[in-house]
Structure 1
């Protein structure tokens, strides 16, 4: 069994690696991560989950988002979302990446 203390360590490590990373939009536009924090609210349907809330600056040159990748400071992809989001002059888009850390038997 994996102890909760180890899961906490894994969570903190991921947080540290994403800090200083970037969000790659549509495979071509890289936006530096400005802030990242672990959400304290519960995540529906996921036990012992992590919600990483990532903030980046607004990118006016992307009218439609089809793919986003959350990357560490070394370029490793942590999570990816694929969907079509039309910006239509939107000032902000919030993306939440949910990563589950859990023990096994």
Structure 2
């Protein structure tokens, strides 16, 4: 299970999600599969900047909920620990 953070091209918006297949889920976000009015479609959050892997869905969901409560500054710092230049990690997953 994965918890992941996506952003848009200008890095102005963050989206936090959870999935059991990060490659498939990233493909779905990029290609607008699912709800065309979704948050990621609306704000064009198609760029992976951070992810964590968990052994169980329970752990991943708990972490997702925790991260969603954080202020933007704290989320930025988390990303910058692993990805200081905010590089788009899509090619590492695809």
More helix by share: 2
Give TM-score scaled by structure 2 length.
0.35
More strand by share: 1
